[in-house]
Amino acid sequence: MNTQTFLSRVICAGLFAGFLAGTPLSAAGDEFRFGAGAHIVNPDGDIKDAAKMGFGLSVFGEMGLDKNMALRGRVDYNMFGKKTESFFSGGFGYSSEESMTAKTVFVDYIYSANSCDQGLYVFGGLGLVSATLKAKATFTFPDPYSDGGSVSGSDSDSRSGSNFGYTVGLGYNFTSNLGAEASIVRSNIKFEDGDEAFGCNWLQVSFKYRF
């Protein structure tokens, strides 16, 4: 991926976050809280062919606009499970391993009918999704110059890309500190040397703690 393109997307995401957050936050003057979380991610769309269920970590900062509304800046790092395949017959063998990691930077708008400190809430966010796909293959076949011998080798590939994405979800704060969320993430990424956009989507179930 072109470095200038990636940097321009990061800058645009930052400007968008500043546009959303700047005026309301200065007017609200409410408490700003940091937090961290852990989550399970289940792939959907095109990445189901290259990844399995995995896990991730997140850090965030949250500012209340009033009793019912808040803005949150969030960074997530996700490691999806490896997808493997193997075959062996008549001296020929093949195995492959695919894996994926993804980083997201989102600005979320949170709304609760009761209070952002406790109870049910909904949220939606916009931001940047960056993903890396890795693949490794090993193979074995009979050596034509050796009686009973074999030849083996391996090959690997890695591709990265990023694009804007969005998330929507539902959460519940059990206390003012501890909560849980379920959300979906959607983005279309064109990876390096790829001709078509790749549906980079997943379901995320999170547990979070606000300090």
In this predicted model, what pLDDT tens digit does every residue of 111-143 receive, in sequence order? Answer: 998 888 889 999 999 999 999 989 898 888 777
Tell whether 141 is covered by a domain.
no
Tally of CB atoms within 10 A around 40: 16
Q: What residues have CB less than 8 Å from 65, skipping those under 6 apart?
A: 24, 25, 28, 30, 71
Tell whether 154 is covered by a domain.
no
CA dist 180 and 173 (Å) reads: 7
CA-wise closest residue to 39 among 210, 209, 205: 205
Tell whether 48 is covered by a domain.
yes
Per the structure, the count of domains in the chain is 1
CA dist 211 and 63 (Å) reads: 12
Tell whether 137 is covered by a domain.
no
CATH of the domain at 72: 2.40.160.20
52 and 99 Cβ atoms separated by less than 8 Å: no
Which of the four pLDDT bands, split at 50, 70 and 90, describes residue 153? confident
pLDDT digits (tens, 9 = 90+) for 30-51: 579 999 999 999 999 888 888 8
Tell whether 143 is covered by a domain.
no
Which of the four pLDDT bands, split at 50, 70 and 90, describes residue 195? low
Tell whether 78 is covered by a domain.
yes
Tell whether 62 is covered by a domain.
yes
Mean pLDDT (whole number) for 164-170: 97
Tell whether 70 is covered by a domain.
yes
Query: Could you list the residue range(s) of the whole structural domain that residue 76 is in?
Result: 3-82+102-132+162-210
